[in-house]
Amino acid sequence: MTSSPSRPRSRRERPAKPALSHEAIVAAAVRVLEAEGLPRVTMRRLAQELDTGPASLYVYVANAAELHAAILEEYLGEVDLSPVTAAGDWRERLAAVLDSCTGVLLRHPALAHAALVARPSGPHYLALVEAVLALLHEGGVPDGQAAWGVDVLLQVATATAAEQSARQGEQAEREQAALTDALRAAPAATYPRIAALGDDLVSGAPEERLSWMFRAVVNGTRTTPRPA
């Protein structure tokens, strides 16, 4: 955000050469992500966006992985935490927070994938952990179980988004079809339970399944004591 050195304009089309900084790089990354998708968020593309060479970015960012984590932190701020203080059943409000989290990750597919690799530790991530812990506490879940349960819950939210987002495009649809076919064609002699359950294995809308998953994991967290 440098000022134009010649004549000032009330509204410039684009800042000629914004000063480099960690913040500016993350902002550029978000811009490119929104406009061109995460595969294009590369050090080189970002350098181009910031009108410099790729080497310059390494003054502010350790590597590409750290950058991905920073982008993730940024987006975690979009998770709707209002259900924490809303009225209603704590389970439903917890599911709402987790649904929002999955939704944010799904909105920018490959981001979810980054979420599994990079462990964030910024304020937005902490706020999300706090929200889940607060709702588990409200539901009377013992502290020790809540402490470990928050991990599984966020993992399910993240992994589901990562899976879903990976299964986009024609190739992934063929893979999904291959799995459905393989399950249906599984011989009852070798795979009796698969045969017995049949289409039930792939039944239900994704949201329905995800919602059940969250409830199941919450119930498990509530009822499973930690080892002594």
Q: Which residues bind DNA (CB under 7 A)?
A: 20, 40, 42-45, 52-56, 58-59, 63-65
Decide which of DNA, a copy of itself, none touches 52; Cβ closer than 5 to 8 Å per partner kind: DNA
CB of 43 closer than 8 Å to CB of 54: yes
Rounded to a whole number of angstroms, the minimum distance from the CB of residue 54 to a copy of itself is: 19
CB count, 10 Å around CB of 207? 11
* Footprint of a copy of itself on 207-226 (CB under 8 A): 208-209, 211-213, 215-221, 223-224, 226
Which residues between 135 and 174 bind a copy of itself (CB under 8 A)? 137, 143-152, 155-156, 158-160, 162-163, 166-167, 171-172
Answer yes or no: are the C-beta atoms of 221 and 151 closer than 8 Å.
no
- Amino acid present at 217: V
Question: What is the distance between the alpha carbons of residues 12 and 32, in angstroms, rounded to a whole number?
Answer: 19
46, 64 in Cβ contact below 8 A? no
CA 224 to chain centre: 27
Q: Is 22 helix (H, G, I), strand (E, B) or coil?
A: helix
| Subset of 171-210 contacting a copy of itself (CB under 8 A) | 171-172, 175-176, 178-179, 181-183, 186, 190-194, 196-197, 200-201, 203-204, 208-209
Binding segment for a copy of itself among 2-10, 45-53, 61-69, 95-103 (CB under 8 A)?
Answer: 61-69
Based on CB atoms, which residue is closest to a copy of itself, 54 or 122? 122
